[in-house]
Amino acid sequence: MAPGGRSRRATNSTALVVIISFVAVVASFLAGTWVTERAITALDEAALSVAENAVPSIRSLLAMRQALRRLEWAVEDYVEDRAAGLEAPRPRVAALRADVQRWLDAAFATGVYAGEPEVREAIRAAVAKVDAVDDRLLALVDQGHADRAAAAIRTSLRPAIDELGAAVLRDIDVNNRGAEQMTHRIQSARLRARRISLVLDGASVLAAMAIAAACLHVIRAHERLAREHTALVERRADELEGFAGRIAHDVLSPLANVAMSLELAQRSADPASRATLERARSSLFRVREIVDALYAFAGAGAAPEAGASTRVGGVLDGVVDEVAATAPTGTELRVEAPAREAEVACRPGILVTLLSNLLRNALKYGAADGASPRIAVRALADGPRVRFEVEDAGPGVPPGMEARIFEPHVRAPSAARTRPGLGLGLATAKRLAEAHGGAVGVRPAGDRGSVFWFELPAAARTPPSETSTK
């Protein structure tokens, strides 16, 4: 299978793993949230049942039992005092009967547990029985039969109150069991939620680990592809260098012979033929320029010569004079070189090639339509480096092409349509500058034009010998 097919299959598999793992993490999160909400709901229901049902019912029933005993004692005191011929406060008995009923209503106002409706019916029947016995005792007292009422307390009232008290205890027991069930439900819900949460947390951790592994795989694959791409680019660059060198070498010799033959033919030719031969020489000159560009690019990546040093001023003046001699009429070429005495760490030919490429690029592309070129050349000392700038008044570099313009055979669309060339001048300058520890770049020059620049390391100055001749 081709490497591209394997790469696509590996990428698709990794993407599938990431998607599945991501879905698992989201599902675990949602499931955990759902389980937590259910557990909280169950806990809330159980807690509310204990807080709003069992506890209030038990409290009211206990208060009712106490009120029953006080009612029993109040009736006994009332009957005994009347039997002894004393005046006794009867309203206290009525008040205690009202307390019993009030606590009963409070206990029955809450919810019910399993088996509680039957117990409540028994309590209601016992309360009605106590009320009937109490009414009968009070009626006997009112009729003057206090002794009979005292005997009825032992035979009727106490058994009725005991029966009611037993029914109340049964209801308290029912509420206690309900509270215990709610407590067990709370414990079970907490335990179940904890177990499920642990399982979901484990699933989330595994899914996250799978995502991390997939991302690591993607990163490593990307790094591997980047290394392979870099190696491929380097191989192609080497092949291009070799190809350019071979072409330049193989073409230069025949071109020299052709140029010599044209010159000899032109000397002995008639005027009409000389014009034709001159056009041939012009075409041959353009071919020579192409071959020179290929040859310069092929040798641009060579390692710099150790200890090489070149003074800026002499080279700058020579290159500017050479370019000015071939520039169109009306060209404005301005030199600003405060770093003329600086020295750069390269051979003079390297600096000549760099400056020539940028200046000729400015002559070719650095003028508005119909206008004469206006070029400024600068040499500036910048700490351990010397910076050279060539500013033109042309249309400028299109946005987004600032880096690509220095690649081989890359030209601006407008320049490719209107100017001949291979697009190797700036690429050659870039390779030469970087091979010698420098850099190149371009930036806009105000409203119109561009500033192409390159930097080279300054040469280390050798201290003068103490024995030098005066």
369, 374, 380, 385 alpha-carbon torsion, rounded to 10°: 30
Average of per-residue pLDDT across 241-254: 61
CB 107 within 8 A of CB 171: yes
Q: In terms of C-beta distances under 8 Å and separation of at least 24 residues, what long-range contacts does 241-250 make, across chains too?
A: 241/297, 241/298, 241/301, 242/298, 244/294, 244/295, 244/297, 244/298, 245/294, 245/295, 245/298, 245/299, 247/291, 247/294, 248/291, 248/292, 248/294, 248/295, 248/298, 249/295
Instruction: Pick the closest to residue 416 from 452, 364, 354 (CA basis).
Output: 364
Do residues 52 and 182 share a domain?
A: yes
pLDDT band at 68 (very low <50, low <70, confident <90, very high): confident
The residue among 20, 6, 18, 17 whose CA lies nearest residue 221 is: 6
The whole-number pLDDT of residue 454 equals 95
188 & 312 share domain: no
For residue 332, give the DSSP letter: E
Based on the fold, state whether residues 213 and 351 are members of the same structural domain.
Answer: no
| 74, 213: one domain | yes
Flag whether 124 is in a domain: yes
pLDDT of 367 over the 60 cut: yes
Residue where a domain terminates, one of 186, 201, 217: 217
Short-list 133, 156, 152, CA closest to 83: 152
Residue 204 domain-assigned (yes or no): yes
Domain boundary, last residue among 155, 190, 217: 217
Tokens for 468?
């030098």
Per DSSP, helices labelled H in 84-157 are: 91-108, 116-142, 146-152
Mean pLDDT of the chain: 78
Q: Is residue 229 part of a domain?
A: no
**Residue 464: its pLDDT value, please?**
47
Burial of residue 280, with CB atoms counted within 10 A of its CB: 0-12 exposed, 13-18 middle, 19 or more buried:
middle
User: 197 with 318, same domain?
Assistant: no
How many CA atoms lie less than 13 Å away from 310 in the CB half-sphere? Answer: 24
CATH number of the domain where residue 409 is located: 3.30.565.10
* Shared-domain flag, residues 442 and 313: yes
Q: Is the domain of 43 the same as that of 192? A: yes
Q: What are phi and psi of 233, to 5 degrees?
A: -65, -40
Does residue 71 have a pLDDT over 90?
A: no
- The letter for the amino acid at 5 is G
- Output the pLDDT for position 363: 87
SS (H, E, C) 363-423: HHHCCCCCCCCEEEEEEEEECCEEEEEEECCCCCCCCCCCCHHHCCCCCCHHHHHHCCCCC
pLDDT at 458: 92
Residue 234 lies in a domain: no
Confidence band of 311 (pLDDT split at 50, 70, 90): very high
Q: How confident is the model at residue 415 (pLDDT cuts 50, 70, 90)?
A: low
Given a cut of 70, whether residue 467 has pLDDT beyond it is no
Burial class (CB in 10 A: 0-12, 13-18, 19+), 137: buried
Do 317 and 195 share a structural domain? no
**Does residue 321 share a domain with residue 174?**
no
Mean pLDDT of 346-371: 84
* Position 450 pLDDT exceeds 80: yes
Q: Are residues 213 and 308 in the same domain?
A: no
Q: Which two tokens stand for residue 30?
A: 């949602």
DSSP annotation of 114 reads T
Whole-angstrom CA distances from 70 to 93, 94, 381, 390 are: 9, 12, 111, 114
Q: 99-108, 254-263, 439-448: which range is least confident on average? A: 254-263
Residue that wins the pLDDT comparison between 44 and 397: 397
What pLDDT shows up at residue 304?
67
380 forms bridges with which residues in the sheet? Answer: 387
10-63 pLDDT per residue, tens: 566 666 766 886 777 777 667 767 767 776 776 677 776 777 777 888 888 898
pLDDT for the residue numbered 452 = 94
Q: What tens digit of pLDDT does each residue of 317-344 get?
A: 988 988 888 888 888 889 988 888 999 9
Confidence band for 224, pLDDT divided at 50, 70 and 90? confident
Q: Is 440 part of any domain?
A: yes
Q: Looking at mean pLDDT, say which of 11-20, 125-134, 180-189 comes out highest.
A: 125-134
3-state DSSP call for residue 85?
coil
- Residue 270 inside a domain? The answer is no
Model confidence at 465, pLDDT cuts 50, 70, 90, reads very low
Separation between Cα atoms, residue 133 and residue 149, nearest integer Å? 10
pLDDT value at 86 more than 70: yes
- Residue 22 resides in a domain: yes
Q: Is residue 393 over pLDDT 80?
A: yes
Q: State whether residue 236 is helix, strand or coil.
A: helix
Q: If pLDDT is split at 50, 70 and 90, which confidence band does 151 have?
A: confident
Residues 335, 188 share a domain = no
Q: CA torsion 338→340→344→346, rounded to 10°?
A: 140
In this structure, are 36 and 158 located in the same domain?
Answer: yes
* CA-to-CA separations, 465 to 170, 184, 311, 345, in angstroms, rounded: 120, 100, 19, 21
Rg over alpha carbons for the chain, rounded to the nearest Å, is 54
In this predicted structure, the answer to whether residue 134 has a pLDDT above a threshold of 80 is yes
Which of 182, 217, 252 is the endpoint of a domain? 217
Domain count, the chain: 2
Task: Establish if 351 belongs to a structural domain.
Answer: yes
pLDDT over 50 (residue 388): yes
H/E element, 454: strand 450-457
pLDDT, mean of residues 237-255? 61
Give the residue-averaged pLDDT of 257-270. 71
| 59 vs 285, more confident | 59
Where in the sequence is the domain holding 354, given as residue range(s)? Answer: 304-457
Q: Residue 71 maps to which CATH number?
A: 1.20.120.1730
Which residue from 34, 178, 177, 16 is spatially nearest to 111, judged by alpha carbons?
Answer: 178
Task: Give me the percent of the chain exceeding a pLDDT of 90.
Answer: 9
In the predicted model, what is the mean pLDDT of residues 300-314? 77
